[in-house]
Amino acid sequence: MNAPLVCVVDDDDAVRLSIGLLVETLGFPVRCFAGALDLLADGEALEQAHCLVLDVRMPGLSGVGLQERLGRLGSEIPIIFVSAHGDVPMVARAMREGAFDFLQKPFNEQVLLDRVSEAVQVAGLRRAEAAWQQAFRARLDGLTAREREVLDGMTAGRLNKQIAEGLGISMKTVEQHRARVMEKLQVESVAELVAHVIRAARGLDAGRHGM
């Protein structure tokens, strides 16, 4: 897995540099950008970023504007906003859009470090989950049509006999299919299989809701 990159976007040179150095003390690689559009243009940074620290008000595209664009692109990177203004409507909007946190300058640097660490952790979990979902979906795609039917029967809690009757095949054939399904999906038990299928269904559900 790639190193958990943290990206800092602030138009104030000193603030940007200071946040960058601060976050580096956590041991994460840091990339700094003077404008929101610079970050948007850097596909590699966006790919690897586990956390964004964004200034709210910047010339050009604002931090909240960048958040919206990334949202449309389906990005799940946690965003921490920092602002020199006590801008309540802006904070409300950013939080509604799913911001990870909002800190008012000058902030307690330890709070920022804690929130960045948490954000990186969350991003890692999200990425791991996304990777698992992708892998599991690939395994599901490896099943034959008949194996899918047997899988559906198993997850519905039916007995082999019922599945056999439903599909008009012998018990023995059902048992063979079951073994193949367990092997292809790399599970040891029916309980594990059901848990995986539910987890995959949750992932699909979350995907539909644009999270």
Partner 1 sequence: MHDSGADVCDVAEPGGERQRHDCEVCYRAVFRAVPEPVLVADNTGLIVDANPAAHGLYGFGDTGLPGASLAELFAWTPRTFEGRPARLAAGPHRGRDGRSFLGEAVLSYIERPTGTLVILVIRNVTEALEAQSRLEEAEERWRFALDGAGDGVWDWSLESGEIEVSSSFRGLIGCPDAVRLRRGDIWPGRLHPDDVRSAMMAFAAHLTGARPITETEFRLRLEDGSYRWVALRGRVMERGPDGLPHRMIGTVRDVHERYLGAEREKRQQQELERAARLIHVGEMASSLAHELNQPLTALRNFSAVALHRLDEPGPLDERLRAPLTMIAEQALRAGAIVNQVRSFARKGGGQPGAVALNEVVRGVLRFMQFEIRAHAVQCVLDLEEGLPAVQADQVQMEQVLSNLIKNGIDAMDAVPSERILRIRSRSLPDAAVEVAVSDSGEGLADAVRSDPFAPFATTKADGVGLGLAICRSIVENHGGRLWVDSSSAAGTCFCFSLPVARA
List interacting residues with partner 1 (CB under 8 A).
Answer: 12, 14-15, 17-19, 21-22, 25, 82, 84-86, 88, 105-110, 113
Of 25 and 134, CB closest to partner 1: 25
Residue bearing tokens 């193949």: 180
Of 27 and 157, CB closest to partner 1: 27
Radius of gyration (C-alpha) of the chain in whole angstroms: 23
Of 18 and 176, CB closest to partner 1: 18
| Minimum CB–partner distance for residue 10 and partner 1 (Å) | 9
| Minimum CB–partner distance for residue 123 and partner 1 (Å) | 22
Of 70 and 102, CB closest to partner 1: 102
| Minimum CB–partner distance for residue 13 and partner 1 (Å) | 9
| Minimum CB–partner distance for residue 50 and partner 1 (Å) | 20
